[in-house]
Structure 1
Amino acid sequence: MQNFDDIRFYDDEEVNPALQQYVKHPMVKALLQFTFPDLEYDEIRTILADCYSIKDFQSKVIYYSVEKVLEKTSEGLSDRGFDKLDQDESYFYISNHRDILLDTSLLNYTLYNHDLVMTASAIGDNLVQKPFLAALAKLNRNFLVLRNQSPREMLKSSMRLSEYTRELLEDSRSIWMAQREGRTKDGNDVTQQGVLKMIGMAKGDLDLLDYLAKIKIVPVSISYEFDPTDMLKMPEVLAKRMQEEYKKSANEDFNSIMQGAMGQKGRIRLNAGDVITSEDLDYIREQNLSVNDQLQAVSKLIDKAIHKNYKLWPSNYIACDLLRNEERFTDKYTEKEKRQFDRRVSRRVDIKNPLALNSYLLMYANPVINKLGLNEG
């Protein structure tokens, strides 16, 4: 993998030196003390000293970090569909994307619980500008997607990224990638065609659809009962709806990472869809479509799986009823749950501002609307 030094994660022999370098960093120290609150720091350092691979670090440290986050900020994580996957196979997981770090952390936590191959995961280089964040990313088997490039540079880096993912898969490593660049802010989870185009660049002599079948894509639906970063997403959502340019503040991504980790989430569900096989793609192949139209058709196939398997919570049904001024889903929630959601809305949004109220409700209602679309389409 010597050609990928600027985007790759750590080799195992680099893990222990990196841990020793950053063990005293205040943010790393805070993470470790959060993870092991009952241990003295010298005892924690002993655990780190015994980590000589990414698997060591993930299983001895990060697994318990995620467990602690779930314990303190959620009402539990459940999953469906992962028991259908082969423990000896690698897969290309493509999921909706709501939280910068938790989405992939929860997926790997779930894969570990099912004795499945954990993933190498894509992360934008804009999110790891701080050296300690870059180190933590590489320690968690994150590889970098280079942002803010010229069109020519972007094409070149996309090709290298695609080749890197192919090498990882050939080395029996599973991969996670979000269905789109950046998180979904409005709750409408849609796969960007460009993501699949980048993945397919390394197909070599294979037909595009044959390659996409070969890598065993698994659509994953990640559903949080409450999004702890919903209010942080609102300025960008409103700017987009008003067709205004939106510029991130200096620490916006870091604040989203912290709020996503420590904010209350309610219940969480990860649902794995069926592996997309060559047979699933045959109907696309038979239509003699252009490459772009093939990519669009595969994107819709992934969307359908994500929308179908998305776990809807009372918050989603309540938001949909409020948005449409209906009582269609009253059998899906209680009066107490509705009062609690009403309070949440009033604390976060100026309810006298129709655009703000509508935008906030859409964050929670869009997954219901998308699932209804499957039945009505």
Structure 2
Amino acid sequence: MSKFDEIRHYHDHEVNEVLKQISKHPMIKALMGFTFPNKTEDQWLESLREVKSIQQFQNDFAYHSIQRILEKSSNGLSSSGFEKLDKNTSYLYISNHRDIIMDTSLLNVSLKDHGMIMTASAIGDNLVQKSFLLALAKVNRNFLVRRGLPPRELLESSKLMSEYIRHLLTEENRSVWIAQREGRTKDGNDATHQGVLKMLGMASDEECLMDYFKKIKIVPVSISYEYDPTDALKMPQILAKANNEDYVKDRNEDFINLYSGIIGQKRGIHIHVGDVLDAELDNIKANFDKTNKQMQALTSVIDNSIIKNYRLWPTNYIAYDILNKTNKFKDKYTDQEKQLFERRLELRVNKENQIIVDNFLAMYANPVVNKLKLIENE
């Protein structure tokens, strides 16, 4: 028994048996039928039974599934920054988080296309309550973040996850993806939570945390979608917050969000990987002697990289102009693009509720606001 067993992804020797167990599940059949429309069930089943490792599963199945999803629900994926990274080095990718499944899947597609080390990725255990989803996640090299724990258990769980991430990066030379905050961004404001950095630092063997963060090679990642396929689904939670009400999820809400994020229309998608944080960490260490101040400074460095490198789409500028009743960015979009966005707004939210309308627009407009603030402060 490994101490990481309760959270780790599958080992290669477990993969074949797991795939055989889930191969008859209706959702797996549907996924394979979607991915390989020209293959019979017997054909893809035979191929699935030959899989002996996570890498083989990702190369022969998961990669093709994501390509099909991109064909059906987007105008394609573009990327930048990967050429600056070393193909044989593992990195800790700290990313803004917009979609449950697609964020990590698209990063891994980009890493594979660039011949780089693909990631083990953190996923909340609340998202994989169904047994086939848990199996599919772990066979795709996802490891579990335990949610809803009491304080003492949360501390122990955080330590364990920190040690596992360190183990992956330093002993297995496996890159790791983790979101900059717990849960997806609902309002378009991409901000790193210090709690994530504190968790990562729990496994440090260095006197100064900044030295440890240099060792594990942090790379900020910016991912942006022209259309967020779950935009309207995020509104009830935002409305509850606006009314100072507690928000209680429906039983199947996570699964609906997960499914909608995969199949929903995204149009443009862009991923940028920033520079490895190195000189920035030396600078923080030199200028701040208290750990708390260092963590605040590191949070700002990651946020600034994500915001600076976030690809803005016509939808972001349109939402900004509508929300602020201006034509400031009218050169960034066409009349047709504006009409399409207004039509989406009309179809997806109750236009009688101004709070919802404003929050829907703000979700798209805030990346513009944040980039403008960053430019002003430079």
TM-score by length of 1: 0.98
Distance (whole Å) between structure 2 residues aligned to residue 253 and residue 5 of structure 1: 24
How much has 1:297 moved relative to structure 2?
Answer: 1.1
How much has 1:286 moved relative to structure 2?
Answer: 2.3
Superimposed CA distance per residue, residues 130-167 of structure 1 (whole angstroms, 9 cap, x where no aligned partner)? 11011001100000011111100000110010000000
1:26 corresponds to: 26
Matches within 5 A, 1:161-240: 161-170=161-170, 171-240=172-241
Number of aligned residue pairs: give it: 376
Matches within 5 A, 1:90-129: 90-129=90-129
2:242 corresponds to: 241
Distance (whole Å) between structure 2 residues aligned to residue 281 and residue 169 of structure 1: 18
Q: Which amino acid counterpart does residue 292 of structure 1 have in structure 2? A: N
Backbone CA RMSD of aligned residues: 1.0
Unaligned runs of at least 5 residues, structure 1: none
How much has 1:280 moved relative to structure 2?
Answer: 1.0
Q: Which amino acid counterpart does residue 129 of structure 1 have in structure 2? A: Q
SS of 1:153's partner is helix
Unaligned runs of at least 5 residues, structure 2: none
Superimposed CA distance per residue, residues 305-339 of structure 1 (whole angstroms, 9 cap, x where no aligned partner)? 00000000000000001111111101100111111
1:255 corresponds to: 256
2:285 corresponds to: 285
SS of 1:166's partner is helix
TM-score by length of 2: 0.98
Runs of 4+ in 1 over 6 A off after TM superposition: none
How much has 1:32 moved relative to structure 2?
Answer: 1.1
How much has 1:238 moved relative to structure 2?
Answer: 1.1
Superimposed CA distance per residue, residues 166-191 of structure 1 (whole angstroms, 9 cap, x where no aligned partner)? 00001100000001000001111100
Counting aligned pairs with the same residue, the percent is 56
SS of 1:202's partner is coil
1:318 corresponds to: 318
Superimposed CA distance per residue, residues 229-271 of structure 1 (whole angstroms, 9 cap, x where no aligned partner)? 0111000011112211101000000001110000110110001
2:334 corresponds to: 334
Distance (whole Å) between structure 2 residues aligned to residue 27 and residue 359 of structure 1: 34
SS of 1:59's partner is helix
How much has 1:349 moved relative to structure 2?
Answer: 2.0
How much has 1:293 moved relative to structure 2?
Answer: 2.1
Contact 2:319 2:361 in 1 (8 A): yes
SS of 1:77's partner is strand
Distance (whole Å) between structure 1 residues aligned to residue 25 and residue 339 of structure 2: 43
1:140 corresponds to: 140
How much has 1:290 moved relative to structure 2?
Answer: 2.3
Distance (whole Å) between structure 1 residues aligned to residue 238 and residue 290 of structure 2: 33
Question: Is 288-297 or 322-331 further displaced after alignment?
Answer: 288-297
How much has 1:206 moved relative to structure 2?
Answer: 3.8
SS of 2:288's partner is coil
